[in-house]
Amino acid sequence: MSYAEWAGIAAPYSRSFGALCASTIPEVLTEARVGGHAPGRVLDAGTGTGEVAIAAAAAGWQVDAFDAEPSMIAFATESAGARADASSIRFTTATLPGIPYPDQAFDAVTANFAINHVDHPRECLAELWQKLVPGGRLVATVWPWESTPTGRLWREIQDETGAYPPPADRLPAGSDFDRSEDGLAGLLAECGFEDVRARRVRFTWRVAADDLWSGVEAGIAVIGYAYAAAAPETRERMRAAYDARTPALTGADGLLHFELSAVLASGVRPAVAG
């Protein structure tokens, strides 16, 4: 998904796939403090609706956050402004590579499901490396390339309705990286990070069926591309196929439950650049 496709979808993103991405926030902020560092200055890259930035501010970090999409930044600014503990966050519209922050300005950088959306991951990570103080840590998350309960749901709907997305424009082989612990850790090491650690974050994601579907209707993720490309009659069949499957996924709380995992990796800018 190129960042241009994030325009005007902040509200449905927040209800659906943004709520999913927020599942890793506690682990991301814990990882940013590995080594016993107290909360200092953090830069949140590809902040989207600002959930990581807002949680970081609430945890005592001094936060700068940026996103390429102005409507995401507008949504994040409004969300943070509604909270006394997040009103000091500085949100900026900016695109990697080429962000307007001085080098060596941050004790930590967070990139929650952002590196998997840029065209040049190595170039972007090298630039984020520059923004860290020596000894500062970058924490990144990506979705693994493997079968997931949400992926199975979307595939069943596609198989039943024949609504497949246009061919995905995957990154060229030389730019891409494996969406696994080893793949993300290797990417960080290639970009000059040291003390690289990677692990799987496992969680149960609970979401209302209509909230998740609002993300599909907004054209988010592969199922969203398929929906956007489908004829009106096919869209109706997609929703019917979804409705037919959600009861089996619904818990006693009335929400859909998905057992999911994300890949989290972090690394440090070494004290002496090598």
Residue 88: how many other CB atoms lie within 10 Å: 11
Nearest to ligand SAM of 8, 162 (CB atom): 8
Write down the least CB distance from residue 186 to ligand SAM, Å.
21
Pairwise CA distance, residues 34 & 246, whole Å: 39
Write down the least CB distance from residue 256 to ligand SAM, Å.
19
Nearest to ligand SAM of 96, 163 (CB atom): 96
Pairwise CA distance, residues 110 & 66, whole Å: 11
Nearest to ligand SAM of 116, 161 (CB atom): 116
Write down the least CB distance from residue 266 to ligand SAM, Å.
15
Q: Look at the alpha carbons of 16, 124, 64, 23 in this order and tell me if their dihedral is positive or negative.
A: positive
Residues that bind ligand SAM (CB under 6 A): 3, 6, 18, 21, 46-49, 51-52, 67-69, 72, 95-96, 112-114, 117-118
Write down the least CB distance from residue 174 to ligand SAM, Å.
18
Structure tokens at 58: 């609430």
Which of 185, 171, 178 is closest to 139 using CA atoms?
Answer: 185
Nearest to ligand SAM of 51, 107 (CB atom): 51
Which of 42, 33, 46 is closest to 2 using CA atoms?
Answer: 46
Nearest to ligand SAM of 4, 272 (CB atom): 4
Write down the least CB distance from residue 234 to ligand SAM, Å.
26
CA gyration radius, the chain: 19
Q: Looking at this protein, which amino acid is placed at residue 146?
A: E
Residue pair 30/60 in contact (Cβ under 8 Å)? The answer is no
